[in-house]
Each structure stands twice: as C-alpha cells, then as structure tokens.
Structure 1
C-alpha cells in the first residue's frame, strides 16, 4: 500500500503546498500515536481524520477524492491501532517511567519540573500530555497556512449571498411578527454592552434568485449614528440589498438590532395604538416576564409560611427569590433604558405625526386601507428605534404634512438609518451621507446631501472622462512612435523604451455614462377660456357629511398647480369632480367643449395587462395606429428598443409608469391631471418628467408628495383641508415650514 504522504499529495495537487505539507505531517503524527501506548487509548481516529479532510476541502481540494482518501487512511490507521492494542495485551505497557516523587515535590514551577525530569533521564515537557511528541511540521508554515485557510473560509462565507436562498424568508411567511423579530434580534442581557455598533462588511457578492449579480466584490460600511441615502437607477438592486441586511444574509453583528419597513401591517382587531406598542417585542417580552416574576415572588412569600425558618425548603425558596430579584433588576434596568414608562405617549405622538387622529388611533388595524396600514408599519418601526433602521421609499405612502413630520423626526434619529428614496427634498433634509449603487458596486459620498452628491458625481464623471481621454491620447502617441520606429536601427532603443512605458500604464475603463431618459408631451392647440372652472362646488356621498364645500377655482392652459394636503381630505375626489366623473351636490363645473384631459393615476399602472408587451397593450387599449407608431410614441418616454416588445411584468416600476404616461398622451391632451406621478420614478425619470412638464404647451394640475418636483414645476399651491380648497400664498417650501411650525406648536415633533 502507498504511504499516507503519497496518498495525500496525489489528491492535493491543486491546493497550496503548505496546506498539503501540514496534512501529511498531521497524518504522520496520528500514525505515531497509534503505536504510543499512552496516547492510543485517548485517540479518536474518525474525528481526527475528518478534521484534516475538512481542512483540505476548505483549501480547495475535490471533496469526493478527499472522502475516499479519508476512508483509506482511517482503515490503515485503525488496523495499526488494533495491532498495537493486541500487542499491549501480551507485553503490557512499557512506556511508563517510575518518577521520584520527592524530587518532583521540591520543585513547584514548570521550569524546575523540567530540570528535575532531566536529572531523572526523562526528556520532554509534561505540561499538557505528560510527554513531548516531536513533530515534523514547520510551525511558521502552519501558522501561515491557517491564516490563508481562515481568510478563504471568511471570504466564502460572505462571498456568495443569494437573497432568495435564505431559510428566513420562508420562516417569515410562517412565523408571526414576534417570533421573526426575536429570531433576527434575540434579546440577550448585556450582549451589546461596550460593543461598537458600526457595520463593516468586507468583500461580498450579492445575487438575486435568478442568478443575476447585483453587487460584486463590494464593501459595505455604515457608521453608527449616520443617516445614509441609498440611491441608484430603478432595478439596480437597492431593495434587495436592504432585504439581505434585514435578514442578516450579510454578516451584521448579532448585538445590532435591525428593522425593515417593507410590507403593510396585517389587519386584525388590535387597536392602532396598541399595534405600535406591540411592535417593540423586547419591551413586550420584558413586561410579560416582569409580570411572571412578580407573580412567582408572591407565591414564594406565601409558601414561606408553610415551612420552618431553618428548614431546607426555606433555603431553596430564598435562593430562588434572590435569583428572581436579580433578574427583576436586570429587567427594570432594560425597561428604564428604553423609557418604557413613556412608550404610550411616544407611540401616540408618532401616529399623530403620520396622520392618525386621536380617534383613529383607537380603531382596529383591519379598518384601515392598505396605504394607511403601510403608515402603521412605519410608525411601528420608528417606535422600536432599532440600531439599524431600513426604509424603502417611505415617502411614497405619505402626504406632504406627514413627510414633513417624518423628515423632522429622522433628523434627530439616534441610531443608524439606511433609506432608499428618490425624493430629493426628503434626502436633502434627512441624509448625512449618500451611497450610490451602480455597476455592481457601492460608491460613498460622505457628509453630502443629495444635491451635493449630484454635483460631485457629475464632477467625478467629468474628471474620469478627462483622465481617460488624456491616457488614450498618450497611448495613441506612444503607439504611433512604436509602429513607426520599431524596426529602425537608429530609433529601436527609443521604441523599446516606449513599449515599456505603454506596458506600465494602468488600464483605465471608460467612465460610466448615465442612461439618459427623455419624456415628451405632444403639442396641443390653444383653447379659449374657461378651460376648467369650479363655482361654489360642494360634494359628498350624503348631504350631512360633505367632503368638499364651497370650492372656487379654475385651471387655464398655462396653469402649473400643485394640490396638497393630508391624505383623506378630498384631493382625489376633487380631481374626479373636475373631470365630471362625480357630479357635485351644489355648484357648477364649467369646461371647454373641446377640452381633452390626460389623467394619470397609480391605478392606471395597476390595471395594465402585464402578460403582454407595451406595444400590444396600447394597440388593444388605444387602437388606431400601427406597431411602428406605438413604438415611436413609447420612445418619447424612454421605452426604447426591445423594452416596448417584452412583457411588461419584466419592466421596473418606473418603466411601467412611463408606459402609463405614454398612454395618457395618445389623445393629445390640453390639460394634464396627475395623481402622484413621481411614485416609482428614479432620479433620471424624475428629471425627464420635470423637463417635459415645464415644456408642455398645456396646463398641469398635480397631486404630489415630492416637494422638489412641485418646486421645479408648479407656481401655484392649492391646499385641501377642512373640507375646502384654498390657494396658499407662498412656495411649497413655505407650506412645508408652515406644517412643521404647526406640529412644533402642538408638541408632535420632539427630540428623541
């Protein structure tokens, strides 16, 4: 049979020779142990062989070959061990030496013991095993090999993070909220005391379920107490990164608590205020545990009367009581740290700021619509105050007053915030740093709000483009000289010098070009006024509960109007009255007879047949043109090339919105009425929309929560509140400041 060393080397040709040498030395060491009468009795061969096998596999060896090798070596060593033990039964153990105990007792430290052993003729160190086993393994090489293996294993653990592969996803579907929260954020007393809450994850890849890589060889660094805005084009993988963090797919330290707002709350009979209080599972668990401990302490006090003071039972009860008192103190400290006594007031304040009246807070969660339940999810997250709060487009579910409140609240958030948003004004208010996700990497813009980031990014791109062009020109200059004089005897030395210069130049990639998107709303003919005019309009589904009362306003061909106000105050109802989809109970709606309106609402996106292409859907829904005309029209809204021909379910949310914009323009509208047009559009799409609305020859009336879009497009602000609509004398930023001032006066926005 071949020697153990040759067997190991035969299957380890593809891995680091240092690791191979270590494995050979280890197996030779095991082989010696099988002949040692003392150590063979303590030998666990299967475990020892398995350890080396795993080491070789982690270093890159083929697992099937290593399994076969391990089986052969185990058989060989087991045979040696059995033969040695059979021999011991006949000859006895001759390895033990009789030591003079008096000599050993006169020395009480390790150095003196070894000196005494030398006098007795024994060479070795008895510190661990009683005898010294020589090894042929180079200790320096061993340390180096172990470091290499540790790095490879660590890299492998982080390298291939496949979000959909996580067991926690299925567990979240099956678990209730409390169970999943505690699985992600286990309650452990003192676990995070004194530990840093910064997050640093080195060198990882991130994939989505179909094998598409969204991040490659990337580092994620989040400093505790900073507020990060995560930006990038639609479909780049920002939401996937947040989900991977929220489920600890990435290696976030266990003592850092995480909460992610991504799904609306499941409605039930729980009151809105109580659902927010219940969101802090730690507080809920601690209060429950506190109640149980107090109950048990009362039981112990009653049991004491049944036994004598000196009895064993009393001592047991005293010990239990002391343990419970200690744990009760820990719970009290934990509850005091999280200010449990102020929890209800804080929860009510958060709900009020997000638009829930005092009466609404006492309603069951199943009485709210999906949008309001999303607000409840946001309120629950803000109430919990996790160490890492993850928000995905939080402003999409909010109106302008609620966004103003949220911005003020988050500006003083005491822990780490990572928010995905395309709302520039919101990011300018909240973010202390910007992370730009693109080209499978993350770029950090530290200490910058969105506007500063946008300027810096463009400067970086221009500088990179200039450097690239300069190098390409220099390369061309060198190459021309080389080509001209390479075979010229007089100039050959200079040509060789330039060849070396060319080889040493760093290879630069051309800078990434931002994908440009353009929108174009078609020209429309002028109409004479009145275009749309409302006179003393009142509306309600019954006369006793009017949603709108005595509304007077008009829309002209050059209007740029923003309609703002809290959700539920009648903004969408007003739009439907203007378009004569609803008939007022009182007053008049006057419209030009030739008026054509383009109406955009998120409902239009939801009602698309996503199993067909944009071209096919438009030809069925708005017939009258050929496919080439539909493709050309879609191209005016950034749906170019094959995008118009593939199934719309493969398009991003922003791309579907562009299809909806294209559809509403097929009748060449005079007035555009837009209900939340900025939802799902990324920065590029928003820029294109703003430019198109500025250049549109007709009128614009929009309901929007995006302050930066309103500020760029609109010159009139209408406020819907208390059942009526009035013009606001100022800009959208003046209105925002007015809302914050009212909230501060009411004590809604408070420091953490």
Structure 2
C-alpha cells in the first residue's frame, strides 16, 4: 500500500495536498476492507476506483496518468481480495463471532458521509476557504441547550437565546433507535438495584427560557401510580417529556416509555405493531436467530477439519462463546415472557376496542384516534419500569377507559399519568402530584377526591394563617403610628418596630384562578322538541348501523350517550342534527328549535390565524367587539386572551372559545361530543355547573364518568346496532362493562 501512496503523489504532483492525502487514506481503507469478510462482501472495487479517478482528475490530475494508476490499483485490490478469501476458506471465518450488525451499518454510514463530504456544495460562509462543516450536531445541540438554560437561569426571565444555525436541520430518530437510546438493553447490570426515582433540586425550562419548575424535587416510589394534576399550560406535559428523554437524571437501569403522539401508519398489522413495540424482545429474537444460524454453520464447517486441528479448535471456541451468549438471550426472553407476548398483545388491543378482525388490519387504515390507542397499547405491552401517560382517556370511550383503569390497577411498575378525568384518577392513582407556582406538591396515599378535599383544607388554613398574621402586623403598626412620637411610649414603639422588621415577608396563599361558564337561557318552545321514532340508518341499506331507535330529547333532558367507539354514537348525533337522513322511521323537530353542537374535533373548524373576537365576528356578525369580549369572558377567555391569535391558546382555551361560539345563537338543545377533552379541573367544574344550570336540554357523548354522574340523569347505551336506555347510573354501567369483559376473558388474560 505504501508503494501506491508514493505513486499517487508522483502521478498528481500539482493538485491540492489535502486531496492527495484523502485519496491515499481512502486507498488504505480499500486495502483494509479486503481483509474483512463482511466489508469485502460489500466492496465494489470498480466503482470505488472510478470514484477516486474522477476525484483526482477533477482536482487537476492528468487523465491518462490517473487512469493508468487506477488500473494498477484495481488489479492489486482484486488480487489481494482473492488471496484473503482463499485464506478465510481454509482457516475459518471468526469475524462473525457475536457479529454486531449495527457496527457494520455505522461503518457504511461513515463511508457514505465521507463521499458526501467531497461531493457536497453546501458550505458554511466564512472569510477563508469554503469547507463543509464536520461538527457533531447532536453534541452541538446538547451544548446549545445547556447554554440557553444557563442564560435563562442567570437572567431569571424570558430569554431568547440564538442557537447555532447548524441545528435548523432536525432529523427524527426512528422508534427502535430512540427506544434503545433511552433504554439500553440490560443483561443483569441492574439486577437488585432500586427502581425508585428521586431527582432533587432541579429547574425545568420550556421554550425561550420560560421556567416551569424551580428548585423542585421529583420522588416516584416503584410500584406506585401517580396522578400529575395542575392548570392548563402549567408545564405537566413538558415534565413528562423531560423524563422520557432522560433530560432529568433517571438511573439507566430504569426503563421508560411515554405515550405522546399517534403511531405512524404503514402496512404493519395492528397486532404486529404492538409486538414490534417491545424493541428488546425484537432485538433479542433477531440475535437468537443469528446465533442459531452461525452455530449450525459451525457444525457444518467442523466436519471439514480434523477434530484436533487448529481450525477445528477455533470453531469450537467460537461455538462455546455463542452458546454462552445464547443462554443469556434465552434467559432475558424468558424473563420478559416472550412466549406469551402475542396473547398478551391481543388481549390489550381487544380491551382498547380492537376486534380480532381489526387487529389484523394495517395500521395505515386507522384514523388518528385509533392510532393513538395503538400507541397506548404498545406502551402497555412493553411494561416499562416508568410508564408516562398524557391524557390517555381523551382518545377512549367509556368501555375502553374502564378497561384501561382496571388494567393499570394491577400494573406492576411505576405509572405517572397526566389527566383531568376525576373518576379515572380516583380509580388509578395511589398518589397525587400537584404542579403549580413552579413547584411540585405531594399528596401521598390520595386519589383525586381526597387530594381535592385536602388541598381545599390546606388553602383554608393558609388563608386563615395569612389573615391572622396580617391582623397582627396591623395591630403592631397601629401602636407604632399612635405612640411613635410619645415620649412615655417611645421605647415600646421602638420595640414593636423591631418586631415588625423581623417578621418574614408575607405572600397570600396562591389559589388557582376560578372560571365560570354561562349558557344563555333560551326562549320557551312547546314539545315535541326533538324526537326519533323507529329510526334505522346505514350508509349501505344491507348493513344497518342503527335500527329501531326511539329517543326523546326535552328542554329538561340530561342524557349521556355511551358505548364503544364505532357503535354509531356520532351517526346518531348527525341524525338528530339533520345531517343524516334515516332509511326508516321519523325525526320530529320543533320548527323553532335551535341546536348548539360541540364537535370532538372542534379545532378543525376554527381559523387559528384569527383572534377569538375576530373569529366570532366572522361566524356570527352583528355585534360590537366589546360584546364579543364580554361573551368570551363568560367562558373564561378574559383580557388579552380574546385578542391573541387562537393558535397561541392552549387546548382548554380553544375549547372555551368553541363553547362560547355554540351559544351565540341561544340554543334550546346542546349536543356535545366529548366536551371534557382538554379542559383542566377548574374548566370541568365550570362546565358541569353551567350544564346543570342551563335551562335547555343536554345530550352528551363523553368518557368522563365524573361529569356524566354530575350532570346527567339518563344513560343511553349504543350497542348491538341500536340505542336503548340503560337502567342505572354511569357507575352501574361501568360494572356492566367489566362483567362483560370478565365473561369474555379480556380482563383475566392481561
């Protein structure tokens, strides 16, 4: 090889030495590749030599001389490759021992990067020569994040830190790579170690230096289930995201999984996508197959050599190493109960609403809501040590929400769930963490109801203590003001001044801002208001979705429509509103009836580039801006919120704008499809109170058991192709669901 290096310099003496050095180094890589069985199989010698020839000619080398040298090098490479392959055929190939395919891919990636480097035309502008950057963007990104955090912390205010422009090009890691990066596979290194989590005295920032936690401590005991609660926009989802990416100091032996976004659809079946979610299992099965294949190959090769020969002993040693590794893999697969994986995955999917037929459908055939359920199923299947769930019930109907709560009650590891669903938290949570005022408060051994009552009591005590202290201060100040200049009392006044100065600075207890909703009172109309009689409907007359439905909605109705997704609830709402025409039966509406409809995906109907005031004036013209602002204020959209672009509002604030919109025509009947989604606790309380005080009728589709129990006095169930009144309240319906699931074996199997 050294001889060819000299020949390269002699052939192209006039070109840039940087190019010459690169060409010589690249030749060295090619000669080295002929000695490696794996790289040799990927080596395309003519193509590589052609690349080097073009490089040297384009840099100023003479074409004839370069082509002559290229022919010599190509011949030498082919000869060395043939010699090395012949040698491997005799001595046996030991390079496959515990072969790491990722290493091969990394080497190939490095090679491709080098080629791209020389062919690239996009340079960083600077005063010297144009050169492609070789900065490690991942390391740069980490460094920039640290700098931004320090700047924000020093300033203690919103800081816009300008990061390197190299970070503008972001690439998304695939699921497998991210999973293994966050959860490196562990063969016993974490055995016996505690899986409790304790992160002390940390600050957490979001966006341009906005601090959401200050000097906070996070403590999660293994096996406990924590409900993380707080107002919309307080930073709960940001905390979960920081945990899921190990931006906080979580021990490496603790596995983490976060249900954050919907699954990307492809041709993989729903069942297989859940099985593939356990990357450890998938990687171990793949490694097991590789080892078995290599062991079989060694058995065949050993027959070609004498038992005491050096080659046979090498193969024997390799086989022993592989057997030990295979035993480790088998132990790990047994530990994770790999043989029961498919049954467990099917059970989880069934509980979340996927029929056996749906489990075999490609994931790209499902809507966004169903793909979110798939993401949830994948997380439950993996059984991480720390399971992070962000509003999981938003995508579920009552049966699936009931199944999930029951499943999590027996979950063997730690759960941290962000939810505003009180009934769900009451069933699932063993502890509550309240995030507010840049801090985390713990309510141990509490479900949501006990947390709420304890917190209210705490606030009362804090308020009482604050008032007593303020009264004491006022008493001291009154004495000082009265006797400060009285010679007989001056010493006492000075004593009280010193007492007053030593008292700590008082801050009133911080109470979460209370909001109220108010639905306008409609004018009176005579029944029948809205009535279905013997209604049947289907997009295909031979496949009816609903049949023989009788339903009567009055001005005093409080009806909850429940049932599994896909059973016809939304179809029924469209029939009530006149969007669908029944195939049979009749729909009777009062001629003066006005309906206010809240859609589950109401954001899709909004122009987010407009402010709430502008959007309402476009949709319902004829009022002044002040009237629109006053109306929005009755739904908690106060001050500047009504004048901001709606894209900057939180999910709960957008929901409040939608409620304000549906009330501008003073409806007689409110038809609400999942109205509780995105609302925080204060928003849910406000909505429940407003619906109870509303003078018109209410029909809602909701998964929020607490809201249904608070507002509705009738439960109608959509199942088996029809809709009928359920004899009992929402909690009786939940028991009915669990009994059905238990009879089918879903609850027992998980």
TM over 0.5: yes
Matches of 1:302 and 1:158 in 2, distance apart?
65
Partner of 1:359: 357
The one of 559, 574, 595 equivalent to 1:597 is 595
Residues 417/166 of structure 1: CA separation in 2 closer, same or farther (3 Å cut): farther
Q: CA deviation digits over 1:87-127, x for unaligned, max 9?
A: xxxxxxxxxxxxxxxxxxxxxxxxxxxxxxxxxxxxxxxxx
* TM-aligned CA deviation for residue 333 of structure 1: 1.0
Partner of 2:18: none
* TM-aligned CA deviation for residue 499 of structure 1: 3.0
Whether the 8 Å CA contact 1:519–1:638 is kept in 2: the answer is yes
Partner of 1:242: 240
Partner of 2:532: 534
Partner of 1:523: 521
Partner of 1:174: 172
Partner of 1:201: 199
Partner of 2:710: 712
Residues 291/282 of structure 1: CA separation in 2 closer, same or farther (3 Å cut): same
Partner of 1:394: 392
Matches of 1:350 and 1:173 in 2, distance apart?
32
Partner of 1:439: 437
* TM-aligned CA deviation for residue 689 of structure 1: 0.5
Matches of 1:159 and 1:194 in 2, distance apart?
38
Whether the 8 Å CA contact 1:436–1:442 is kept in 2: the answer is yes
Partner of 2:308: 310
The one of 353, 368, 371 equivalent to 1:370 is 368
Whether the 8 Å CA contact 1:556–1:699 is kept in 2: the answer is yes
Partner of 2:318: 320
Q: CA deviation digits over 1:562-588, x for unaligned, max 9?
A: 000000111011011111111111111
* TM-aligned CA deviation for residue 196 of structure 1: 1.1
Matches of 1:477 and 1:344 in 2, distance apart?
73
* TM-aligned CA deviation for residue 223 of structure 1: 0.9
Whether the 8 Å CA contact 1:353–1:405 is kept in 2: the answer is yes
Question: More displaced, 720-729 or 597-606?
Answer: 597-606
Matches of 1:258 and 1:541 in 2, distance apart?
44
* TM-aligned CA deviation for residue 163 of structure 1: 14
* TM-aligned CA deviation for residue 445 of structure 1: 0.7
Partner of 1:500: 498
Whether the 8 Å CA contact 1:163–1:206 is kept in 2: the answer is no
* TM-aligned CA deviation for residue 501 of structure 1: 2.5
Matches of 2:408 and 2:464 in 1, distance apart?
39
Matches of 2:637 and 2:653 in 1, distance apart?
7
Matches of 1:393 and 1:166 in 2, distance apart?
34
The one of 696, 699, 702 equivalent to 1:701 is 699
Q: Is 1:462 aligned to residue 460 of structure 2?
A: yes
Matches of 1:636 and 1:693 in 2, distance apart?
14
Q: Is 1:408 aligned to residue 406 of structure 2?
A: yes
Matches of 2:486 and 2:512 in 1, distance apart?
46
Q: Provide the secondary structure at the position in 2 that maps to 1:187.
A: coil
Partner of 1:471: 469
Residues 454/166 of structure 1: CA separation in 2 closer, same or farther (3 Å cut): farther
* TM-aligned CA deviation for residue 508 of structure 1: 2.7
Q: Provide the secondary structure at the position in 1 that maps to 2:262.
A: coil
Q: Provide the secondary structure at the position in 2 that maps to 1:749.
A: helix
Partner of 2:138: none
Partner of 2:686: 688
* TM-aligned CA deviation for residue 527 of structure 1: 1.5
Q: Provide the secondary structure at the position in 2 that maps to 1:306.
A: coil
Partner of 2:732: 734
Q: CA deviation digits over 1:292-343, x for unaligned, max 9?
A: 1111111121222222222222222222122111111111111111111100
Partner of 1:224: 222
Q: Provide the secondary structure at the position in 1 that maps to 2:591.
A: coil
Partner of 2:660: 662
Residues 425/711 of structure 1: CA separation in 2 closer, same or farther (3 Å cut): same
Matches of 1:285 and 1:219 in 2, distance apart?
35
* TM-aligned CA deviation for residue 647 of structure 1: 1.1
- TM-score, normalization: structure 2? 0.77
Partner of 2:101: none
Matches of 1:649 and 1:235 in 2, distance apart?
14
Whether the 8 Å CA contact 1:433–1:447 is kept in 2: the answer is yes
Structure 2 gaps of 5+ residues are 1-145
Residues 701/163 of structure 1: CA separation in 2 closer, same or farther (3 Å cut): farther
Q: Provide the secondary structure at the position in 2 that maps to 1:553.
A: strand
Whether the 8 Å CA contact 2:240–2:388 is kept in 1: the answer is yes
Q: Provide the secondary structure at the position in 1 that maps to 2:370.
A: helix
Partner of 1:622: 620
Partner of 2:482: 484
Residues 643/157 of structure 1: CA separation in 2 closer, same or farther (3 Å cut): closer
Whether the 8 Å CA contact 2:344–2:749 is kept in 1: the answer is no
Q: CA deviation digits over 1:556-611, x for unaligned, max 9?
A: 11100000000011101101111111111111101111111111113333221111
Whether the 8 Å CA contact 1:421–1:427 is kept in 2: the answer is yes
Matches of 1:224 and 1:323 in 2, distance apart?
36
Whether the 8 Å CA contact 2:350–2:746 is kept in 1: the answer is yes
Matches of 1:193 and 1:285 in 2, distance apart?
20
Q: CA deviation digits over 1:4-63, x for unaligned, max 9?
A: xxxxxxxxxxxxxxxxxxxxxxxxxxxxxxxxxxxxxxxxxxxxxxxxxxxxxxxxxxxx
Matches of 1:254 and 1:523 in 2, distance apart?
58
Matches of 1:495 and 1:469 in 2, distance apart?
23
Residues 170/329 of structure 1: CA separation in 2 closer, same or farther (3 Å cut): farther
Partner of 1:418: 416
Corresponding residue pairs, total: 599
* TM-aligned CA deviation for residue 487 of structure 1: 4.2
Whether the 8 Å CA contact 1:279–1:380 is kept in 2: the answer is yes
Q: Is 1:266 aligned to residue 261 of structure 2?
A: no
* TM-aligned CA deviation for residue 391 of structure 1: 0.5
Matches of 2:214 and 2:244 in 1, distance apart?
19
Whether the 8 Å CA contact 1:539–1:585 is kept in 2: the answer is yes
Whether the 8 Å CA contact 1:163–1:208 is kept in 2: the answer is no
Root-mean-square deviation (CA), in Å?
A: 2.4
Q: Provide the secondary structure at the position in 1 that maps to 2:541.
A: coil
Matches of 2:597 and 2:645 in 1, distance apart?
24
Q: Provide the secondary structure at the position in 2 that maps to 1:750.
A: helix
* TM-aligned CA deviation for residue 495 of structure 1: 3.0
Partner of 1:191: 189
Partner of 1:514: 512
Partner of 1:631: 629
Partner of 2:11: none
* TM-aligned CA deviation for residue 184 of structure 1: 0.9
Superposed counterparts of 1:63-142, under 5 Å: none
Residues 391/172 of structure 1: CA separation in 2 closer, same or farther (3 Å cut): farther
Partner of 2:338: 340
Whether the 8 Å CA contact 1:163–1:207 is kept in 2: the answer is no
Structure 1 gaps of 5+ residues are 1-151
Matches of 2:740 and 2:567 in 1, distance apart?
18
Whether the 8 Å CA contact 1:159–1:203 is kept in 2: the answer is no
Whether the 8 Å CA contact 1:163–1:249 is kept in 2: the answer is no
Matches of 1:541 and 1:170 in 2, distance apart?
48
Residues 377/703 of structure 1: CA separation in 2 closer, same or farther (3 Å cut): same
Residues 339/159 of structure 1: CA separation in 2 closer, same or farther (3 Å cut): farther
Q: Provide the secondary structure at the position in 2 that maps to 1:726.
A: strand
Whether the 8 Å CA contact 2:516–2:686 is kept in 1: the answer is yes
Matches of 2:170 and 2:552 in 1, distance apart?
51
Whether the 8 Å CA contact 2:559–2:714 is kept in 1: the answer is yes
The one of 594, 611, 614 equivalent to 1:613 is 611
Matches of 1:358 and 1:172 in 2, distance apart?
39
Q: Provide the secondary structure at the position in 2 that maps to 1:605.
A: helix
Residues 727/166 of structure 1: CA separation in 2 closer, same or farther (3 Å cut): farther
Whether the 8 Å CA contact 2:403–2:747 is kept in 1: the answer is yes
The one of 742, 745, 748 equivalent to 1:747 is 745
